[in-house]
Each structure stands twice: as structure tokens, then as C-alpha cells.
Structure 1
Amino acid sequence: MRIHLPPAASISWSYFLDVDGTLIDIADTPDAACIDASLLDLIARLYRASGGAVALVSGRALSDLENRLGALRLPLAGQHGLERRDAAGRLWIHAAPPAAKHAIKQALAPALARHPGLLLEDKGLTLALHYRQAPHLAAYARRSMVRLANDANAGLEVQFGKRVAEVKPSGIDKGTAISEYLAESPFRGRRPVFIGDDLNDEHGFAEVNRLDGISIKVGHGSSCARYRLPDVTAARQWLDNALQEVT
């Protein structure tokens, strides 16, 4: 695969960053992932140098991100844009119907008992069925989640990712989160950058492409992103290079 490297990064841009698979390697389970001290330092330096125009846009719950960031505070979008904290600290939430979510959890209980390799993660607004530890169940997991989302008849859709199928409210995604940020200070008027690695990042890539921004996919696989970086290390180094302007 030919890699089209992105142009040199600039602190004058707005940065929207996925986390798992982009800034840190994907772990066997969501809880096993670790945001290391060097990454926290990189994000903090980029945030300061860019005048606050940095947001993490993740599939993780916002509370999960906040716990892992420790004292570092910056704009965050969690659960694929369903919850978003803006630069002013305001919280925006798009909730799934609780009855539909409860019904899906109940329907999945027998499958989870039968297949211990499956892991159901309740993020609060979404339900993510992970099959990383049971990859042979990929088709079964995907098919089950699509059926349950359709049966709920509650405006839900399934977002696929790396060995995960996630039921979420439709119409809200990482692209809509980025669009909302770009209408606000300090992101407004800057060229947007979005870096991601997974299928659930394609909405973000598409939105940034529409705005003539810089869309970067980390790793392999088909994508509408205009640029590529080979791995997490390269993504972090590219961001660090932007800070050379101010050193």
C-alpha cells in the first residue's frame, strides 16, 4: 500500500484526535488501554501551543476519557459524538431510548453466557459488543447487533469498528461532533485536522474532506482519508513536529 504522508503540521490548525488505535495501541479489552505520561504531555503541549484548538473525539465514554486524562482538561467528544464537552465546559448529550437499550441488553444475555469470549460494554449511551477475544464470532456478533437494533425500532443504528459492533442513536457521529466544534471558538476559522484509524472515524474524515481539511488514517485498510500514517508512533511524532514551530 502506498502511503501518502500528510503535510507538515501547523499550530494554526484545529486538531481533532481519536484515541484508541490512533494515539495509543488497541488493547485486548477497553479497560486495559493506557494513556501514558508522554502522550498526556504531548496533548497538553499541543493544546497550549494551538491556543486550545485541540479536542479528543473518541468512541469511549466521556467519563472514561476524563478519568484517563487525569488533571488534563480539554474539549472532549465521547461515544462517537453522542456526548460532547465544548471549550467553555458546556455538555451536550444525545441519549439513546433507555427502554430499547435495556431490551437489547436482556436479549444479549444468553449469548454472553454461552460465549465467554464476547464482551458487552455499556458506555451509557451506547452498547458495544466486542469480539476481539473471539474473532470467529465476528459474523454472529455483527448480525445479532444489526437485528437487535432493527427490532428495537427506536432510531438506532450499528457502528462497526475493529472487532466491535456498537448500537447507537443514528444521525450523530464523529463528523457531526467535529462540525459542531468548528462553529465554536477556538476552532472556528482554522483548518481542521482529524486523525483516526477505524471504520467509525470515516464520518470524521468525510466531514474534514468536505471542508478541505487534513484527514489522516493511521494504519492499513480502505478509507476516504486523504493521508496516511503507518502507526501510533508515527501519528504522535507528526503531532510533536507541529510544536517545533514554537520551540
Structure 2
Amino acid sequence: MYIDSHCHLNFPDLQAQLPEVLERMRTAGVGHALVVSVNLRDWPGLMALVEQHPFLRASVGVHPDNDAGDEDNAEPTVEDLVSRAGHPKVVAIGETGLDYYRLSEPLDWQRERFRTHIRAAHETGLPLIIHTRAAAEDTLRLMREERAPAGVMHCFTESWEVAQGALDLGFYISLSGIVTFKNAAQIQDVARRVPLDRLLIETDSPYLAPVPYRGKMNDPSRVIHVAEKIAELRGVPVAEIEQASAENYWRLFHKAAAAA
């Protein structure tokens, strides 16, 4: 079974054609997916979707790129995240992290939000889903300072040195369709070197469709192309990537197997 460890099936473009998307998943052999939260405003709708399908799980969290000044997006507290994480189908905290790409200092609010998620992960015993962009040094620093529990660096796009820093903290590395892009030499290097027992695959759909679908809307069925590219880079059968990434998923997201 292939598992998409990070997607956004509740986003409007995918939800508008959900029956077709789910059928493509079935046909491709993608038997499970984690639908990842980006804000609290839309979280009830995300959960309503996940509750309808036994092969879907959810997370709870607020994306680091969500503006703290947006009144429509509630700022998370540890207590609120812990409470929502009590739902049987919530298996992770996040996505959280740091994203400095479009923003400029002061960003203390973003760093404090990240700390809030890490503390919620400690209280719940659930893994973290971490997003980092243009902020790798601070991301790793806060992970160390807060003694972040196990989790995954999702849609990894950093160097092998950053990957090593995360691996040293007990984290997994998840690769998306970007690994199939011609100009993705740095990520392809990570794909060759990351230990097989720390590797996850994802789509981050509806974004980042892999080759040969680059530029089109992505969906979880296309996670197989991520696996195929990693297998090519490592010189192993794709079934080895399929099996290892699935085993790693169930190990990291330990609550997923028990969820109703």
C-alpha cells in the first residue's frame, strides 16, 4: 500500500471533485492519506471530511504562514490543540514550523506559535508535522530548545546538513513531487542518503504535482510518482520504497492504526 503522508483534501479544488480523487487513489493503490490542518477556522470541515472515510486521518495545527493579525484565523493555544487532538482520528500536531519566505522581522509571533505546537505535541504524545522555508537554522534551534518530540520534516527542500540535524533529533524526512523536478539536485541528494527507515512520501496536494503532471492540480494518487523517483535515485525496486515508507508512517503516526 502507498500512503500519502501529507495532503489537503479539504481544500476547495480537491473537495470539488472528491469522488473522482478518491477513485484515482484506489486505482493507484494509495490506500491511506493524512489530511493536514493549516488553520483552526477550517478544521471542523476537515474533520467532517475525514470522519466519512476509514482510510483518512487528520492533524490539528496552524500553518506558520498564517498571518497572526488575521481575525478570521484564531491563534492556537496549547490547551486548544490538546483538546482537539483528543479526537480519535487526529494523529499529529501541525503543520507548524517557521516560514520566513514572504515575511520580514519581527516574527516573534511565528516562533512563539511554533513553540506552542511543540508543547502541545509533548502533552499529547503525538508527532509533529514541521514546515520550514527560508528558516532552517531557527527551525532546528527551536526544535532543540523545546526538545521537540518525534515528527516529520514535511515537503523537505533543504540541504543534507539540515536533514542530518533533523534526523539527529529523531525526525523523519518526507519528500514530495519536488524530488522529480529537473532542478532539484539538492533534494535528490537527500533522497539518496536519508536512511530508509526515516523516509516518508507525500504529495502536499493540491500543490507540487510531480513530473509528468507538473503544473497541474495534484492529488494523493500521484504519490506513486514520488516513490518511483526515489527508487530510481537509490537504485532499488519501487516496492521497497512503497513498503518502507508505509511502515515508517504507521510507526511515526502510531495513533493512526488505532483510529476509528
TM-score by length of 1: 0.34
Which has more radius of gyration? Answer: 1
TM-score by length of 2: 0.33
